[in-house]
Amino acid sequence: MPILPLDSGRYGSKEIREIFDDNRKLDYQLKFEAEVAKAQGELGVIPENASKEIADVANSNRVTLKRIKELELISEHDTAAFVESIAEECPDTAKPWVHYGLTSSDIVDTSTSLQLKDSLTIIENKLLRLARVLSERALQFKDLPAVGRTHGQHASVIAFGLKFAVWASEIVRHLERIDEGKKRFLVCKTLGVVGTGSVMGKRALDVQRIVAERLGLFPVDSATQVVPRERYAEAQFFLALVGATLDRMAVEIRNLQRTEIGEVSEHFKRGQMGSSAVPVKRNPIKSERVSSLSRLLRALVSVAMENVSLWHERDLSNSANERFTIPMTVILLDEMLNLMVNVITNLEIHNEKIASNLKMTNGQIHAEFVLDLLLKKGIPRFDAYRDIQRVAFSAIENKQSFFDAIQNDSELGKRLTSEELTDIFEPSKHLSASTTIIQNIAKMVHDAQLKYAEPF
């Protein structure tokens, strides 16, 4: 019976959840044992015939979850039960060499790296898809003037497409971080009980190098019984950082969908219900779900940080929680990416509302450009600043347009002509470098597609 939402399949795609399924986990562990045995046989660490027999068993379907569970009831040790289930299927000549020189954590940590490796392939492809959708939206609205807000207040004019471009550039940076970090957290360990190579002696590092290469991982440079947990903490931090960007996007969309702003809306399909009580509601539920899951994602980083400080060469204080934190981090981020790709792809942009919001302050959104023109006429900055502020505050009190207030002011009216003000009060003239920035980000996204795209 499903207990957690992850168990019921509510969150995450089928392909990402399957990576953490017990059967897939067993496949990773068997692949690891097979590659270790083969490498040990090739290097003469164990008899070559034994290595082939062990690899044959590991690559067959004879080791089952059912039998492992039966053995675990006796040993109360899941990895020991796994190793014993392999040994049961091996001929007597091979039994002594099963799991030779290894410790349980070699299997567990390397299998975790394999899970992360396959997960990141999926995550990276979805990040690329999101970056592409954001770039397309940025280009679509690169010439649309909109309100730029700071502190929740109207500040100046931006291109509406710039919002999407800024997000797209963040996504590309996340791809760079993940790719650069792989050599630190996608690692293979075969160094035994306390990280010395144990009974494999001088050939231990050669075994590890060969196994890592065949599994598409990086050999750990040093370890105790376990891979140092700062590696996993980094991976979880990087993934939570992606989630923070998705949350940032979600919060902006939620704010822009407020009734009072109304510049965007999440797509509302036929038959969808926004509220069980209020029929007219169209709530930004997908963006809200992204924000909700991002909070949990960030909280999991704290647990990963706590796991770094283990006792001596290891203890088990990390073991139980990592069965939750690593799968949850990946699956929740996958869900968030699916949601945000859907939201951005189908986001409804209300151009008329964007235009009307620009007029909400009766022209005061153009104050920055009035100040700039006065500076260019040689007026000292703070003299110009105080005059503009005085006129603007008076215009609000008198419910007067900023344009008229400037023209009728004894100081500003004589310094600025009607033609100059008309030019300043045209929003489309104030997109400045927005178009170039958006085009630069579009190229950045295109280059990232070429660099990071992998089939999955």
Residues designated as active site: 151, 275
SS3 content of the chain, % helix, strand, coil (to 5): 65, 5, 30
Identify residue 178 by its one-letter amino acid code.
Answer: I
d(CA 64, CA 35): 19
d(CA 185, CA 302): 17
Query: Tokens 């647990």 appear where?
Result: 303
d(CA 97, CA 31): 16
What is the DSSP secondary-structure string of 40-69?
Answer: HHHTTSS-HHHHHHHHHHHTSS-S-HHHHH
Contact 78, 177 (CB under 8 A): no
d(CA 239, CA 124): 11
d(CA 420, CA 59): 79
Q: Are strands 218-219 and 187-188 parallel, antiparallel or unpaired?
A: parallel
DSSP state of 225: S
Query: Tokens 């996958």 appear where?
Result: 334
Q: Are strands 264-265 and 348-349 parallel, antiparallel or unpaired?
A: antiparallel
